[in-house]
A and B are shown apart, each in its own frame.
Chain A
Amino acid sequence: MSSSTDWPLWEVFVRSRRGLSHTHAGSLHAPDAEMALRNARDLYTRRSEGISLWVVPSSQITASSPDEKDTFFEPAGDKPYRHPTFYEIPDGVKHL
């Protein structure tokens, strides 16, 4: 049995065939990036064709701290000029 240091945790991001962006799908253990990709393929894509996979070592991800959420995320709701709501969106613009 391998110890968890030999088999670090990886985060998996998947873009489906018609998808616009990579979405976090889950995590897995793998000895290196190449094996992480292969494991992600088996675990999260069922091998559908035409998709893209990203794997990132979990240790490389820096997350925002829940303690600082007020100063970080408090929306400036009383300052409407901060929000791009004054533009008219032309017809035919998709995915905005």
Chain B
Amino acid sequence: MTAALALGDDALVLSHRLGEWAGHAPVLEEEVALANIALDLLGQARLLLSLAGDEDELAYLREERAFRNVQLVEQPNGDFAHTIARQLYFSVHQQGLYEQLAAGDGAFAGIAAKAVKEVAYHRDHAEQWTLRLGDGTDESHERIQRAVDALWRFTGELFQPVEGVDVDWQALHSHWLEAVTTVLERATLTVPSGPQSGAWTAGAGRQGIHTEPFGRMIAEMQHLHRSHPGASW
């Protein structure tokens, strides 16, 4: 069930990152929006991880090396622009992926069909903010450009085929590139030109190789469960 873990971990980890914004978003309304997206993703994670085993055990008792999420979703929130750039890259990808899965008849068709509407909203939210930040003040433009550039090298991994996920990865990549390019250009931003993955990410998240901030994130996420193993809540 590597496939369920890969998709479930993507949603779980990004949900946790977005949860960190609670109480810290730029305005109250935006905080509610980010929390909403986090809750959607957590719901997806629960369905997907349940396919692979016990959702709590999988979320709280696995070591870092057993997580199968892409490295993009584990990147720290940074400033608001950084969070939005991460959302843009991931939600455009997730929408393309879930649309293909929902159209097929694989194990994930039902979950994808349910989630694809949520994901379309996540993408819309990220696009709206990319446009406003890119085409906003000089400072917001500079910050979102920096974020878009910094996260670019994590995007190649999104299109690395996952065993058991039956989609056209090539088509997924070309649609993603087209959609992201359109939004970035409308937002007066420069589409990054560097490689979409680096030599140092060769192992990458899908194989359980994660970036340094991820260990601290799961330490915080798993702390309570590990302190009181077997407790019901």
Chain A residues with CB under 8 Å of chain B are 1-2, 7, 28-31, 34-35, 38-39, 42-43, 47
Contact = CB atoms under 8 A, between A and B. Distances in A.
Nearest to B40: A47
Interface in B29-50: 29-30, 32-33, 36
Contacts of B28: 29
B202 interface: no
Contact of A2 (B26, B36, B124, B128): B26
17 contacts: A1-B27, A7-B27, A28-B29, A29-B27, A29-B28, A29-B29, A30-B29, A31-B132, A35-B29, A35-B128, A39-B30, A39-B32, A42-B29, A42-B32, A42-B36, A43-B29, A47-B121
Contact of B33 (A7, A34, A42): A42
Contacts of A42: 29, 32-33, 36
Nearest to A32: B132
B33 A2 contact: no
A30 B26 CA distance: 12
Given A1-B27, A2-B27, A38-B33, 15 more contacts: A2-B26, A28-B29, A29-B27, A29-B29, A30-B29, A31-B132, A34-B128, A35-B29, A35-B128, A38-B124, A38-B125, A38-B128, A39-B29, A39-B30, A47-B121
Contacts of A47: 121
A22 B27 CA distance: 27
Interface string B122-133: 001100100010
A28 B28 CA distance: 9
Nearest to B118: A47
Contacts of B125: 38
